[in-house]
Structure 1
Amino acid sequence: MRTALRTAVATALLAGLAITPVAATGSAFAADGPAAGAENPTAGTLVRTETLSDGTVVKIYQLGPTWYRADAFANGAPIGSVEANGRPRAANNNGMFLVLFEDGRTLSWAGNVVYETKLGLYRLADGTVLELGKNPKDGRVGLQLIENGKGRGFTYTNDPVRTVWTFGKAVVTLATGGGEFAAYVPGSAKQAAPVYLGTKPEPKPQDQPPAEILSGPTVTSICTVKEEVRSSFGEGWVVTLTNDSTKGPEAVLRNRGTVVATADRAHPLDSVHGLKIERADTLTPRFGQRTQGGDTPYRWNDFPKLPKGCLQPTPAKPTTPATTAPATTAPQTGTQGGQTSVVPKGGVAAGAEFGTVEQGNDAALLASSAGAVAVVAAGLGFTALRRRAAGRG
C-alpha cells in the first residue's frame, strides 16, 4: 500500500489539507528548486530540504512573510504539496503526518492517530484532556480543552480537509469530518494516539477528610487558642494550629519536635511543604495540607475558635498623636508575624507555589536523611514526595 501511495496517483493522500498536485517534474522542481533569490507565489525560494522517517523527501519553499510550501517526493517522484499561508496546515501520507507552520517550521511523526472517532473526551500522551464535539449550527467538528472538569470553549475545523491546533505542547490535527484525529507532543519520549475516555468530563479531585486532631483546643492566653493535628507526612510529623485575635492564624509543621515550616497570615502559602491558610483575615480561617503538588486535593481543618469576648479586638486609644500610635490588627512584622521555613536534610515537598499563585511545574524530590528515614522506618511508604518549582511568596 505504501508503494501505491508513493505514485503520482496518490498525490491527494499526502496533501490532506487542500494539497496542490505537483506536475510530473518540470522546471519548478529541477535540481534543487528555483535559483537562489528567486521569490514568487509560483516557485518561491527554497529554504531547506528534509527527509522524513519513512524516506519521504520534503522541500520547503518560502512564498511570502508567512507563506510557505512543502513539496513531497517519494523515490524521486513528486507526490504532493501542502501550503501554510498565515496558519499551519497538515498532510497525512498513510499514517506519516507532516505539519507545515506559517513560519516555515515543520513537524512530522508516524501514527498517533484515531480514524474511527467518537464524540467525547480524549486524553493525549502528555495527559492533556480534549473534548471532540460538533457545532449544533453547522455540523462542523471541533475540540476544546478540559481543565478541572470544565471546557474552555470549542474551536471548530476551518480548513477543507484538516485543521491544526496546539494545546499546551501538544500539536493536534483533526479532519474536517472528524474521522481522523492525531496528536504529537514535541520533545516527549512518550507518544500515543488520543485515548477515548467517554462522554462525561472527568470529575475534579475532591478534598480529603480533615486531619486527625491530636490535642486541644487549648486556650494559652486570653485571646489565643491552639490545637495539634496530624500531618499528612506520616508518623512523627504534626502541625500546631494557633488562632490569635491580634496576630491571626498560624500553622507550624514539626518533625519530631523540630520546626520545619510555618505559614501565617502574612505568608499564608508554603507550597514546598504543602501548607496553606485560607480566610486568614477572617474569624473563620482554615488550614490545608498536602504532600504533592499539581491537582492533588488539600486536607482541610478549621482553626480552633477563639474564646468568647475575643472576636473583635479593641485597639488602644492614643493619648496624643505624637507619642502614641493607634493599635492595629494588621499583620505583625516581627518574629511572630513573618514566615519561617527550615528545610532539613531529607526535607519533605508538596509542590512549589509562590504567594497565592500556584505554579505548574512538578518535580520529584527524594526524601533523605533523618526526617525521611524516620518516616520510612515507620513503614508508611513516604519515600518520595513531589514538589513543584521551589520558591516562596
Structure 2
Amino acid sequence: MLMQLPSRRNSFRLATTAAVAALAVLTPAAGALAATGAPHTAASGTRPAGHPEGGGQYVRTVKLADGISIGKIYKLGDHHYREEGFADGSSFGSIEAGPAKPYAAGNLNGMITVLDNNGNVVSWIQRTSQGSGPHTEKLADGETVAKVSKLGPQHHKATFSRGGHTLGSVEADGDATPYGVTRIGKLWIVLDLDGGIASYVGRPIPTRA
C-alpha cells in the first residue's frame, strides 16, 4: 500500500496515467496511505547530484516534502520532463512524464512525489490509510469520493465522483502502470497496485535555486 521504494536503479517506482489535467502541489490533508507493508530498501548505485544519467536540459530544483530531499527537473522535449530525487547529494531515483503519459509518481517510504508533463512537481508525506482492495473512501478535499474496484491480481481501478457526478478514473496494473495518477482541480490522487489511495490538495512547489 503505497510504501514501496524503487525496485530498479534510478527509478522511483514509475507510475503514469493518461488522465485528467495539469498539476499543482499540496497541503497535507486526509487521504490514504497504508502505514503497513514492508518498504523496499533504497536503490543501489547512487551518484552525486548534478550528474543526470537520464539526460535532458536542467530546468530547476525543488525541495521535497521530507525537508531533506530535493528534486532536479530536466526537460527532455515538448511536454516531456524528468524529475530526479537526491538526498545527501546522491540520487535515489527518477520519474518521467511525457505526452503519452502526462503524470508520473514515485514513493520513497511514504513521501509521494508527482510530476506532470509540464514539469510541475508535487510532494507530500502520506500518513493515513483508508484501506486497500475494493472499497469506497472520501479524498483529501473532503468532497471527492473514490470507488476502488479490483480487476485482477495487482490490478485496481478507482472511479472518482463528486455530488453524484463522475469526474474520471485511473487504473494501476502491474509494472507497466504501478500507480494510477491524476489531478482534479487542486486535488492530486495516486492509486496503488493493491487499491490503496493517496490524495492531497495543494499548489506547485516553489522553485529553489
| TM, length-normalised to structure 1 | 0.37
Structure with a larger share of its residues in helix = 1
1:12-31, aligned counterparts within 5 Å?
Answer: 12=7, 15-17=12-14, 23-25=45-47
Deviations 1:190-248 (A, max 9, x none): xxxxxxxxxxxxxxxxxxxxxxxxxxxxxxxxxxxxxxxxxxxxxxxxxxxxxxxxxxx
CA contact (8 A) 1:22 1:78 kept: no
1:94-113 equivalences under 5 Å are 94-113=109-128
SS of the residue corresponding to residue 126 of structure 1 reads coil
Look up the match of 1:129.
Answer: 145
Q: Aligned partners of 2:146 and 2:198: how far apart in 1?
A: 12
Task: Give the CA deviation at 1:56.
Answer: 0.7
CA shift at 1:103, angstroms?
Answer: 0.7
TM superposition shift of 1:64:
1.0
1:149 deviation in Å? 4.3
- CA 1:69–1:23 in structure 2 vs 1: closer, same or farther (change >3 Å)? farther
User: CA 1:119–1:151 in 2, change beyond 3 Å: closer, same or farther?
Assistant: farther
Q: Output the amino acid matched with 1:45.
A: Q
How far does residue 111 in structure 1 lie from its aligned partner after superposition? 1.1
SS in 2 for 1:117: coil
Query: In the alignment, which residue of structure 1 is the partner of 2:183?
Result: 166
Distance 1:133 1:46, change over 3 A: same
- Are residue 72 (structure 1) and residue 85 (structure 2) matched? yes
Distance 1:100 1:119, change over 3 A: same
1:120 deviates by: 2.4
Q: Give the aligned partner of residue 57 of structure 1.
A: 70
Distance in 1 between residues matched to 2:44 and 2:154, nearest whole Å: 32
- CA distance in 1: counterparts of 2:114 and 2:75, whole angstroms: 15
In the alignment, is the contact (CA less than 8 A) between 1:112 and 1:184 conserved in 2? no
Which residue identity lines up with residue 171 of structure 1 in the other structure?
A: W
TM superposition shift of 1:122: 0.7
**1:112/1:182 contact within 8 Å kept:** no
Matched-pair contact (CA < 8 Å) for 1:135–1:156: no
Deviation at 1:99, TM superposition (A): 0.2
Matching residue's letter, 2:187 = A
- In the alignment, the residues of structure 2 paired with residue 177 and residue 11 of structure 1 have an alpha-carbon distance, to the nearest angstrom, of 17
Aligned-pair distance for 1:24? 3.7
Structure-2 separation of matches of 1:149 and 1:166: 18
Mapping of residues 232-247 of structure 1, within 5 Å? none
3-state SS in 2 of match to 1:104: coil
Query: 2:183 and 2:120 mapped to 1: Cα distance?
Result: 14
User: Structure 1 CA distance, aligned partners of 2:87 and 2:132?
Assistant: 30
More strand by share: 2
* Larger gyration radius, structure 1 or structure 2: 1
CA distance in 1 between counterparts of 2:168 and 2:64 reads: 34
- 1:15 alignment partner AA: F
1:44 to 26, 46, 56: 56
**TM norm structure 2:** 0.66
CA separation of 1:133 and 1:48: change in aligned 2, threshold 3 A: same
The Cα offsets for residues 112-145 of structure 1, whole Å up to 9 and x where unpaired, read as 5538414122111322112111337x87311112
Residues paired across the two proteins, number: 166
Answer yes or no: is the 8 Å Cα contact 2:154–2:193 preserved in 1: no
